[in-house]
Chains A and B, each alone.
Chain A
């Protein structure tokens, strides 16, 4: 397949994460442990968009009739008798670009080879490992080398997803608000440009081609002068209507009125997520191979000095003619470049090191909405149940109960090496109680947990294909976010209730 074909086949998704994201995908290596239906649904969503390589660890389990019934990807035509082998066969046919390997060694062997794990971009565990020791060992290894661990699980109508990732710095969050017009704080060149346009002198044609951002800035400044305060959107709209309208057909004025809300946006304000990153940046020296944390410090220096972040340079489409729009675009681009240069100089002067222009550009363009996720290795946080029990929203508690239910299920599995059935209800409940005692979180059994445990027993460990497809879709999506390091990843746990079609997320 030549380059053109690759572009074409992945065209619809490259528009979501750009060629750089696609490159991350095709260079990635994913490990999957336990090839059940949830796992195969997850893998399907990684094979189709073209990850580089997938390694399946399934301890040479044989295909059972049960597997055949619940999975799309285990045809009985293949001569291979292992579940992983058959799955690899079917998946390979989906996309020849992806290399799919079946690991012959068992997990317990591999856990003694820490270096084995460093090639992976992400490790997915479906269902449960054999015992608590394996779980702890694996999580320790991956935590140490900062490889993302994703646990995905589905039984009956319920599913959970948990991400354990020591640290993730996401620059390209694809936030919808990166447009930065600076209506309230025009820089000198922009102010000069705005002042050079005298609305009263323009003929109707040119007047209707003045971009709305210029109109809004002018109105903002006039009203601000009058009242000494930041004007309200309705005052701006009124002003446009009464003092600027000429023939009622100026579409640029319509745009300005529609977007009058922008005058409330204080350019000096930064989101809380960025404040936290700044605080953390103070005493984080980062790793030697990533310029992220030094750049955060440079950014903080810049912000401290100017009271403003560097300009994102992203300008929305506006009603205008080519000339005026291009003039404006150039002003915004020049300012972006100037701010970027300043950041670069601070970075080089004060923190040394080098940074590529493309990384710097991405960083400056997206800096306002960057996110840093700090994960946790814990399975549970004691305060969660108390918080949710006091919460008004019963659905959140019921979703948290599902998560707790799966924790109990895991303990049960470690203890009995099988999944519970209807006759195990009391054992499962006992397990849940001891689990809750362990976390010392609750005095009483949470409302609704019993129902969840009953439902889990009723499912007799079976995976419902529909729910697998759904949680497999969500898991696949999160893996792609982790690999491309684009879009905001789940932080860091969710459960899904298929009966009510409702999901809940928490941070542990």
Chain B
């Protein structure tokens, strides 16, 4: 389409599993930066757009301060995680830059043009969050395969090969003698200490694994986590009054076969089909094999993080979760299925990405042919979603109005330019009251709800803003008289400059919506897993730009950029 300038952002590098849908990447590009490779590949084809690649995290305010975003006419989202999408949505609300929000999952996809404050924003429709499980289900009383996979991936794996999993180790009760109820906690603590022992044994083994390897440390791991820990759980009788008891693994049944495999050196050749459910012996073999391989790798890589495309890690998680399932009489899963559960894998295919990328680029035309008139473009644009149901291949709907109760776009916001190093909270407060004519006083808080000032909390007044916030942070200002509504100010640091507050029309005060309850006890919840229903995710896509015979306005170069930022999932 001959856009003037296009910036491509991505923090990720290319993985083999991307190649099934990425025509800009080749086998030889694996491990290279996605952004740089994509730009190189497109530059290769001759056209007039100027392309710039950025390898980095979109949410890194140092690399991408607000001023960076303000330089664009349009932002294209092709993100695969909720956090980053919410972030860019917010950035667009502050900067009023139109956003093409797109995503795919399997054969379905959608494109939502967002014209800030004129149409529905990404946050207007609540998004469902992944399921979470109580810690004790994961640690002591699993009843589904997913519980065992979570245990293997989020607890056992990081404990043995990664930086540990402190979030899963319950903190000590306040009263240590509080025996009965605290049994489970104490039990977990003891377990944790023993695991640290195991971790040491692994680190020691990693150093020793030389010519005549001693694999006995794997035996101790197996006996500890699949036998001793279970025996300990069984001693807590209150857990099993209405549940069926687990059966500890009898390792002696298998140890001889495993020992032979180890001695003959064949253990590393064990390979189970990822489509078959393995027997207990096969899972044990896989467990031993992957543990040995991971331990060897620890010599070079100090810490290993779980990655679903890391075969050793996957085999470890798959086999250990299956062994645990066996113990708790839960159905076993194939490696392929475990990968799906552990990796939160969103199916992806070239066709859907091509269709949605096409729509995304197509939708942007409305904005540019209207002479960048958001009102006209918002009227002409359509939200597009496709489905695998052929009668309704391409569905479109007019863009909806912003949700009045949207936590993000119903709030008045603006950018405040100031010097956070010298401006005190007191001066800032004064300026706010003058500028927006607050009746009496304001309360100032950070976006994570830390109160900085209100009429009976004046301790911070003489401190400079830099003590509380960084460049790019958001401050919430509310009227203590509840006459004017809350506002959000994004702080843009300008050293040595006078404070400049944005011109805002603040509506009358509205009762704030009750926070929705999120889970019962937050600290008791292990986030994770379960396919993120309702969240469509595009994990990367092509650059749908091309020279064409369309009349584009050559005289006014157009800036466009896309973001392709794979943070957690891929």
Interface of A with B (CB < 8 Å)?
4-5, 7-16, 19, 41, 44-45, 48-50, 68-70, 72, 75-76, 93-96, 174, 203, 205-206, 209, 317, 320-323, 325-326, 329, 459-460, 462, 464-467, 469-470, 472-474, 476-477, 480, 487-491, 494, 496, 498, 500-503, 505
Complex: chain A residue closest to B24, CB-CB: A72
Selected interface stretch from B166-174, B345-353, B410-418, B424-432: B345-353
Is the beta-carbon distance between A496 and B144 smaller than 8 angstroms? no
How far is the CB of A11 from the nearest CB of chain B, in Å? 5
Choose from A15, A48, A321, A474 the contact partner of B347 (Cβ within 8 Å): A15
Is the beta-carbon distance between B19 and A205 smaller than 8 angstroms? no
Is the beta-carbon distance between B390 and A48 smaller than 8 angstroms? no
Is the beta-carbon distance between B20 and A323 smaller than 8 angstroms? no
Is the beta-carbon distance between A325 and B393 smaller than 8 angstroms? no
Complex: chain A residue closest to B25, CB-CB: A94
Complex: chain B residue closest to A13, CB-CB: B349
Given that A321-B243, A323-B244, A477-B107 are known contacts, is A464 also in contact with B548, CB under 8 Å in the complex?
yes
Mask: chain B, 474-502; 1 = CB below 8 Å from A; 0 = not: 00000000000000000000000000000
Is the beta-carbon distance between B107 and A70 smaller than 8 angstroms? no
Mask: chain B, 18-47; 1 = CB below 8 Å from A; 0 = not: 011111001100000000000000001110
30 contacts between A and B (CB under 8 A): A9-B16, A11-B345, A12-B345, A41-B354, A48-B21, A48-B22, A48-B23, A70-B547, A70-B548, A72-B45, A96-B27, A205-B242, A323-B243, A325-B143, A464-B546, A464-B550, A465-B1, A466-B358, A466-B362, A469-B354, A469-B357, A469-B361, A469-B542, A469-B546, A470-B359, A490-B393, A491-B390, A494-B393, A501-B396, A505-B391
Selected interface stretch from B182-190, B200-208, B253-261, B324-332: B324-332
Is the beta-carbon distance between A489 and B390 smaller than 8 angstroms? yes
Given that A19-B275, A470-B362, A487-B107 are known contacts, is A48 also in contact with B546, CB under 8 Å in the complex?
no
How far is the CB of A495 from the nearest CB of chain B, in Å? 10
A93→B22 CA distance, assembly (Å): 12
A317→B143 CA distance, assembly (Å): 12
Given that A45-B354, A464-B550 are known contacts, is A10 also in contact with B20, CB under 8 Å in the complex?
yes
Complex: chain B residue closest to A480, CB-CB: B351
- Interface residue B561 (Cβ < 8 Å from any Cβ of A): no
Chain A residues with Cβ under 8 A from B340's Cβ?
15
The B interface, classified by DSSP as helix, strand, loop or mixed, is: loop
Given that A9-B20, A464-B550 are known contacts, is A470 also in contact with B354, CB under 8 Å in the complex?
yes
Complex: chain A residue closest to B17, CB-CB: A11
Number of A-B contacts (CB under 8 A): 185
How far is the CB of B518 from the nearest CB of chain A, in Å? 16
Is the beta-carbon distance between A206 and B1 smaller than 8 angstroms? no
A206→B339 CA distance, assembly (Å): 32
Choose from B44, B362, B382 the contact partner of A75 (Cβ within 8 Å): B44
Choose from B1, B106, B390 the contact partner of A466 (Cβ within 8 Å): B1
Is the beta-carbon distance between A12 and B346 smaller than 8 angstroms? yes
- Interface residue B544 (Cβ < 8 Å from any Cβ of A): yes
Chain B residues with Cβ under 8 A from A505's Cβ?
390-391, 393
Chain B residues with Cβ under 8 A from A12's Cβ?
17, 20-21, 345-349
Is the beta-carbon distance between B242 and A75 smaller than 8 angstroms? no
A317→B530 CA distance, assembly (Å): 11
8 cross-chain pairs, A with B, having the tightest CB-CB distances, nearest first: A465-B546, A470-B358, A473-B354, A503-B394, A473-B355, A477-B351, A205-B242, A48-B350
